[in-house]
Structure 1
């Protein structure tokens, strides 16, 4: 299981870097709601196919959902929409790499929220790893020094990371509330959360903004690529968080910064400052600490 959560996290980080890149491209022509929906639209049928295939491969009982389960599922669904929308707004504030970097401060935020409200327990090395990873994010987010980042962007980054952190903590609680073996409980949470998000966003756009849906249909390739990358990323995150505490998963998940820089350089043609090498080294240290804590 130790190796499993690490592999799931690396898969999630790699896929999320591409998803963010695709969303960054979509944000140039679609509004925030449209870009957010692109993350979930085609991920819903993919998550259903995965769930059905899993039961064909390893048959087991169907889950029993309690009131607590639904609270965590619905809460995580709404909060992830909020977090994704804030991420899209961040893309419009700074370049792609900086926007993603600010949002990655969710690791230390999830650690503090987890310890305070969710009974999360971290080892001493675990705390060191989380804090080192947080320093790496600060370096990445402030390439020209702390004065280079506006108060508005910093506030958006903190709000985004907090929303993502709360989403992750609720997803783990939802998974743990189901009396099913792994990976079935993670698959159910993945399917229900993505389905609820798709229904909410499609319903909103049908009632308030049908033009955005038409614009999305005009860009099917990029929307589909965004959904596929999002599904693979969510599959990795949900699986990893069903096996390991959220702060550890999110700290290791900061390797996404490395993948993000590669995508930013080769796909989006954005320059990478030399100063970010230090951030990468700190991410490597933080990843090592949480893997072997």
Structure 2
């Protein structure tokens, strides 16, 4: 099941990134980041209610570590999303996403060092192949064309998303409920906190950005909806499987991203991208096989 949830999440995230890329041309970074969460909380609440209507279970008992992980994950994801929006402005859509996908290898290293994650040799091979694929796609015109600033932001962005995922999994594991409910409760609280923080910031500091989002309701709603659906997939998958495996398989998002970049955003696909896709496919197979 974690494989199905991951594939669904990757497809939804590719669309969310495309909508964010479009929105970043008209709205600043804070506004684009808020668009990811603005309408996601009601969708997450509806999903949780549907789970309880489908099969009622007990309400969760939240522990102190749960709240720590939720706050840490919510904060780090805001930071990582801001960095991703900056990548969209520095490079084209596909390259920005490619640099941010360094999170799989970062999640593997951090998971093993600090979160007790255990990976097989085959799993490490798959993660390494996936990292090489991301590097190839991110430096499509050669390494010399990728500035140190772009590389640094990309690695920080990937590291931020990796920590977010690791903390989300830890939060979910503290809840003694079936995995769907663990994921749904964690998702609702993380997204609600993010929405409140960003709304409060923009209302007090930059209300014009909030007005700019409300003036683009369709694109904002598409960003929030695809983001929330993708998060349902990610949170569910990470409740079932270690983060490095989920994120390595999730690199199939690059395939969806390149399709969107080529056929919707009309950006050119190059040979290096084809090679990267093949390597990502090999990495996905290795991770699932392990």
Structure 1 residues 84-99: aligned runs within 5 Å: 84-99=81-96
The answer for unaligned runs of 5 or more in structure 1 is none
Distance 1:265 1:276 in 2: 11
Partner of 2:13: 16
CA RMSD between the two structures: 0.5
Distance in 1 of aligned mates of 2:244 and 2:181? 22
Give aligned pairs, total: 290
Per-residue deviation at 1:57? 0.9
Q: Which residue of 1 aligns with 2:57?
A: 60
After TM superposition, what 4+ stretches of structure 1 lie above 4 angstroms from structure 2?
none
TM-score normalised by L of structure 2: 0.99
Cα distance, 1:168 vs structure 2: 0.2
Partner of 1:75: 72
1:42 pairs, out of 29, 39, 44, with: 39
Map of 1:192-207 to 2, 5 A cutoff? 192-207=189-204
Unaligned stretches of 5+ in structure 2?
A: none
Q: CA separation in 1, counterparts of 2:118 and 2:179?
A: 21
Pairs within 5 Å for 1:91-170? 91-170=88-167
Cα offset for 1:32? 0.4
Return the offset for 1:147: 1.2
Instruction: Work out the CA distance in 2 between the residues paired with 1:263 and 1:231.
Output: 19
Q: CA deviation at 1:13?
A: 0.4
Report whether the alignment pairs 1:292 with 2:284.
Answer: no
Secondary structure, in 3 states, of the residue corresponding to 2:271? coil
For 1:40-80, what per-residue CA distance to the aligned partner results, in whole angstroms no more than 9, with x for missing partners?
01110000000011111111111111110000001000100
Work out the CA distance in 2 between the residues paired with 1:215 and 1:190: 26
Question: 2:227 maps to which residue?
Answer: 230
CA–CA distance in 2 between the matches of 1:17 and 1:51? Answer: 24
Q: Write the deviation string for residues 155-203 of structure 1: whole angstroms up to 9, x where unpaired.
A: 0000000000000000000000111112111100011101100010001
Give the corresponding residue for 1:257.
254
**Corresponding residue SS for 1:275:** helix
Instruction: Give the superposition deviation at 1:269.
Output: 1.1
